Structure 1
Amino acid sequence: MEQDLLPKLKETSVLIMDNATFHKGKRLQELIRCAGHYIVWLPKYSPDLNPIEKMWSRVKMIRNKFRVKDIDKLFKDYCNDLFGI
């Protein structure tokens, strides 16, 4: 977050976060706020409000289908399945 996402946010932004344990850390929240951004929390147990959950569901399906052992192969298989690439 500190090295990847925050430097790319040029304007004040609102980050929408789910209740994953790693999102709840005080250091992460402090980094976001000190960079001038805001956090909006999704309600607990509401994957329907979190579009990325659909992607993760698809990735898990593909992972089970192909039984991949590394992330590069998983990504390639995902792109192939989704986009025909």
Structure 2
Amino acid sequence: MDNATFHKRQDIKTAIADAEHTHEYLSSYSPDLNGIEPKWAQAKAIRKREGCSIKQLFAAYVF
């Protein structure tokens, strides 16, 4: 799992344990394990160039 704060809540840990699963956290920042990471620099550059919001950017280029 990533290190989102809600993944570390006790109720989440309990739910995982109750389901007889184990969990392993990724290192704090592991771009090589997250394929989208290199694309964020491109998205930010396009957003800056176009002067648009993230929502507008995704509407134009993704959806």
Could you tell me how far apart the structure 2 residues matched to 1:21 and 1:45 are? 14
Q: Which runs of 5+ in 2 are unaligned?
A: none
Q: Which runs of 5+ in 1 are unaligned?
A: 1-16, 80-85
More helix by share: 2
Alignment correspondent of 1:3: none
Alignment correspondent of 1:75: 58
The number of aligned residues is 62
Is the radius of gyration larger for structure 1 or structure 2? 2
Per the normalisation by structure 2, the TM-score is: 0.52
More strand by share: 1
Per the normalisation by structure 1, the TM-score is: 0.44
State, as a whole percentage, how many aligned pairs show the same letter: 43
8 Å contact from structure 1 (residues 47, 53) kept in 2: yes
